[in-house]
Amino acid sequence: MSFALHQMLQDLPLIDILDVGAMSLGGASAYQQLVHHGKTRVIGFEPGQEECRKLNEKMGPPHIFFPFFIGDGKPATYYETNEVMTGSLYRPNTRLLEKFQNLAELTVPVRTHEVETRRLDDIEGIGSVDFIKMDVQGSELNVFKGASKVLESALVIQVEVEFVELYQGQPMFGDVDQYLRGKGYQFHTFLGFGKRCFKPLVVNDNINDGLNQYLWSDAIYVKDWMRLENLSTVQLKKYAVLLHDLFRSADLCHLLLSTVDGREGTGLAGRYLQMCSGR
């Protein structure tokens, strides 16, 4: 399935992406190819002023990034650490982190800052959103609770979740899962798992590798595929593009295109299967 579905659906409007914790865009973001082909518009948030400046410089219009702390709209304490990627609005759980290889070493508290957080629903300029990517080191549930309007429109969500308490008092995967299911989403898949060995063991000569203790992952949630009648035809097509081009979920993508065919009498699903099989 090396083809891109957005090439088959040429008339599709831009896919609107909301990226909360956008610094990871400097790596291999799942939606990078959509950006590269001019098929998307990104609104992103990264509280570090310098990181935010770099993102705006790198991406340029129509994409835009803001140096905001996104959360529940209340004052909060930001716990700065020795690595910018591990700073959080929750205090690092050092006692737990020290049990694993190369975690406490990357999450050393440096200083604290009193900050103001903003709710996504209160930020001007955010309209309908198709895809949400979120990586905010434990604050994911607080962000979602301030984003009811955004969640009404979003089709696919990629969110980092934790299975153990890396930050003190943080919501866990089960809390995020329950909340998103209550907002009309189904769990779809995990994108790999973050693992570490309990000290002093090391496997494969790699301190960042692990055995059976899963610590975190990126979870993918999708708009409930039992209620596709609630989505417009354009939304169904965008949903399909996201599922194929970002995650190669051909089976669900085919279901979405079949739903479009049922409405419009088109043959998208059959053509899609031919392309998947290389014909």
Amino acid at 92: P
Give the per-residue pLDDT at 225: 98
3-state DSSP of 129-196: CCEEEECCCCCHHHHHHCCHHHHHHCCEEEEEEECCCCECCCCCHHHHHHHHHHCCEEEEEEEEEEEC
Which DSSP state fits 58? H
As a CATH number, domain 14-228 is: 3.40.50.150
pLDDT beneath 70, residues of the chain: 1, 24-28, 279
Whole-number pLDDT of residue 27: 46
Question: What is the model's pLDDT at position 4?
Answer: 92
Backbone angles phi, psi at 174, to 5 degrees: -60, -35
Question: Model pTM?
Answer: 0.95
How many C-beta atoms surround the C-beta of residue 265 within 10 A? Answer: 7
What pLDDT, on the 0 to 100 scale, is given for residue 1?
Answer: 60
Shortest CA distance to 201 belongs to which of 99, 104, 107, 103? 99
Q: What residue spans define the domains of the chain?
A: 14-228
pLDDT for the residue numbered 25: 47
User: Shortest CA distance to 17 belongs to which of 130, 180, 158?
Assistant: 130
List all residues 6 or more positions away from 105 whose beta carbon is below 8 Å from its beta carbon: none
